[in-house]
Amino acid sequence: MQSLESKYTISTGKVYPYRATWLTVTCAACALFTVLFLRLGDIQLANGETFQEQADENRFFRQPLPAQRGLILDRYGDPLVWNIQQYFQVSDPQVLFPVLTPITRESALQLVATAGAEAVTTQPQRLYRFPNSLAHVVGYVGEVTAEDLQRSSEFRPGMTIGKAGLELQYQDSLRGVEGNVTYEVDALGRKQRQVQVQSAVTGKDLGTSIDPYLTEYVARQLGDVLGTAIVTDAANGKVLVLTSKPAFDPNLFTQVSQDISKEVDRKQQVAALFQDPRNLFFNRAISGAYPPGSVFKLMTALAGLENQKIDQSTQVVDEGVLKVGEYQFGNWYYRQYGRVEGPIALERAIARSNDIYFYKVAEWVGPSGLAEFARMFGFGDRTGIELPAEARGVVPDPEWKEKVKGEQWFLGNTYHFGIGQGDVLTTPIQVAQMSQALANGGAVCPLSVLAGDTTNGNIQTGNTSQCHQVGIPIEHWKLVLNGMMGACSEGGTAFPFFSYNTGKYDPQKAADLNFANGAVACKTGTAEFGAADEKGHRRTHAWFTALLTLPQAEGQAGAVASPSAEASSSADVAGTAELSESMSATIPPSKIKAVSEMSDEELHQLWKEKIQKFGFPAKITVTVLVESDEKVPFREGSADAGPIVRKIVDWLASP
């Protein structure tokens, strides 16, 4: 038999391993086809849908359609902000990312008539009706930033979102749901045809308790000071006014101009807002923490009564200075005028804001007891008002000082605590909540800027079920209330109200009767802060908080009775380039005069018409803070904050 080796021998005499080569080629081919089949399976079966989507993305282009934001409504059902449309000329309707040039509505209509609807596109725009007085409450919108994109995957470049105030706090509800238009595109990225349109969904409207006309007037009375004013409905904690000064114009962030020079100027103005040393975006009403000064003496008085350390007849002798060892704690009356009060009891001590009296009451109650009582009224914690960046403030006690400062608590700390100085810090909104509770017989209601649920722009009156009593006996409440009415009457500290309370306050009558008769109960405060100057003087902020019952006009309800039949609601505006009247989207009625152009008399008349139709709360609190500044480093409660409160009360009480 011929050997295997000789069988594969050729003429040269050499032997070639043909069988081994054939096997190698066969295995390589099998491996190649196996890889190809596996890859084909991966493409067609495992990732077929993914690759199809990628192909479609190259073939189709989705253009976002911005959603119309929901409206923010005032307590009367009218919009605080309008939705209008901004018009743009499209450089080339066929390209995916054309250059957009702002134009007027009139120019847009002419362009559509000559070049077709695709030559124009629109974008929704916010127009704020009360740009400065309500800037910190309503807030503003702006284009999404890189930080915003990192914070939420729901945002996309170019999207407009809430940046401050209610626009930020209720961004998810107000913004609606974006739609889109799908186009088929060619290899060069030019639109070939429209494939599908998914309409945007309008955002939800948000009802508030804000009275914009009263707010505008209050903001005018604050003028150019650094400060804030808050007006509340004492019965339920609804906030009627919350304004902070200085403020900013939120329309600067939304009103794009078709004039290049004006647009450059607008951007410069926006940049200037952020560079202003007065910190225009700082909401002093909820974010500022200040020593409360003498307004805190109301807490000290109630804590002394509740802890049975004092009663109506308890007296302290004011000799001008209270000495503790080598330290002296003086009364403001002695420091300013060299005079003393002599023996003084609770009601007179409140009316005269006597420091010596409240030093001793704080000593008898003790710092822990005083801190515990203050926290019952909401001090040292956020009120929960529906606005971003609310501060907590500070209610100190020995444990806090040891933990935070690493220091021991001394009797002098207690004295300072008792008159609202030292380490205690409060926000204006916390002082407003204390005032609301005092005007409401000791029932604390969570402060809120929302009117309640809204349906199609209609306001439903908020309920008071969340209010809770802190347990103040009626006789204690009357004592403090009587002392506060004494402060606003002849012989008290609040001289701007002496004439107002004449004929309304009778010391011989019960406090609740005087209060119902319209007498104003108030407390002044002049709060020291910072380091002393070369003369030993510290700069001071001015506080003034007032409670009153308003005279009700005949037929006028005590609260918002029903939603306005004329209340505006957000239109369902599609995000296309069509220019029908329905798409011009809630253009402000020309018959409405700009509020900023109204006189105080015109504004008051408009407000009176609203409250005649809808009613107005009967029990009101007004809290004003005026900050120290470089021009006026020493502010005083009666002299600086008191006149502002008086003007507000006169506006509210005038027929």
CATH no. for residue 202?
Answer: 3.90.1310.10
Higher pLDDT, 302 or 180: 302
Helix residue spans in 116-185 (DSSP H)? 135-138, 146-151, 165-169, 171-174
> For the CA atoms of the chain, what is the radius of gyration?
35
Please state the domain count of the chain.
3
365 assigned to some structural domain: yes
* Same-domain pairing of 81 and 168: yes
The pLDDT tens digits of the residues spanning 619-654 come to 999 999 999 999 999 999 999 999 999 999 999 998
Q: Compute φ and ψ for 413, nearest 5 degrees.
A: -65, -40
The CA-based diameter of the chain, rounded to the nearest angstrom, is 144
**pLDDT for 569 beyond 50:** no
Same-domain status, 89 and 158: yes
Average pLDDT, integer, range 36-61: 64
pLDDT digits (tens, 9 = 90+) for 353-406: 999 999 999 999 999 999 999 999 999 999 999 999 999 999 999 999 999 999
Buried residues in 47-80 as b, exposed as e (16+ CB within 10 A): eeeeeeeeeeeeeebebebbbbbbbbbbbbbbbb
Structure tokens at 170: 């209720």
Higher pLDDT residue, 287 or 33? 287
Query: Residues 266, 388: one domain?
Result: no
* Residue 246, pLDDT above cutoff 60: yes
Mean pLDDT for the chain overall: 86
Interhelix angle 297-306/367-376, nearest 10 degrees: 110
Arithmetic mean of pLDDT, 50-56: 56
pLDDT band at 607 (very low <50, low <70, confident <90, very high): very high
User: Predicted confidence band at 58 (pLDDT cuts at 50, 70, 90)?
Assistant: low
Residue 589, in any domain of the structure: no
- Strands 327-330 and 316-318, sheet pairing: unpaired
pLDDT at 128 over 80: yes
Interval 469-479 mean pLDDT = 93
Whether residue 347 sits in one domain with residue 322? yes
Alpha carbon distance 418, 169 (integer Å): 36
Average pLDDT over residues 185-197: 83
Range of the domain at 357: 213-247+283-455+467-550+617-653
Most confident of 56-65, 141-150, 372-381, 585-594: 372-381
For residues 405 and 480, membership in a common domain is answered with yes
Q: Average the pLDDT over each of 202-211, 433-442, 527-536 and give the range with the smallest value.
A: 527-536
CA atoms of 655 and 608, how far apart (whole Å):
9
Which residues in 493-607 belong to E strands, given as ranges? 521-529, 539-549
Look up residue 103 and give its two tokens: 């134009």
Looking up tokens 């008191």 gives 642
pLDDT band, residue 265 (cuts 50/70/90)? confident
Residues 252 and 217 both lie in one domain: no
pTM for the model stands at 0.85
**What integer is the mean pLDDT of 91-117?**
87
Interatomic CA distance for residues 481 and 460, integer angstroms: 32
Residue bearing the bigger pLDDT, 221 or 593 = 221
Look at residue 436 and tell me whether its pLDDT is greater than 50: yes
Q: What pLDDT was estimated at residue 30?
A: 82
In this structure, are 170 and 123 located in the same domain? Answer: yes
CATH number for the domain that contains residue 421: 3.40.710.10
| CA–CA separation, 195 and 252 (whole Å) | 37
pLDDT at 539 (0 to 100): 95
What is the DSSP secondary structure assignment for residue 177, as one 8-state letter? B
351 within some domain? yes
The percent of residues in the chain predicted with pLDDT above 90, rounded, is: 59
- Residue 557: inside a domain, yes or no? no
User: CA-CA distances (angstroms) from residue 403 to 283, 376, 397, 407?
Assistant: 29, 22, 10, 8
Question: Is the same domain home to 192 and 220?
Answer: no
Do 127 and 227 lie in one domain? The reply is no
**What is the arithmetic mean of pLDDT over 582-590?**
41
- The answer to whether position 590 is within a domain reads no
Same domain? 314 vs 261: no
- 112 and 195 housed in the same domain: yes
Length of the chain: 655
pLDDT at 460: 42
Residue 273 pLDDT greater than 50, yes or no: yes
CA–CA distance, 481 with 441 (Å, rounded to integer): 9
Span 216-223, average pLDDT: 97
Same domain, 360 and 260: no
State the pLDDT at residue 42: 62
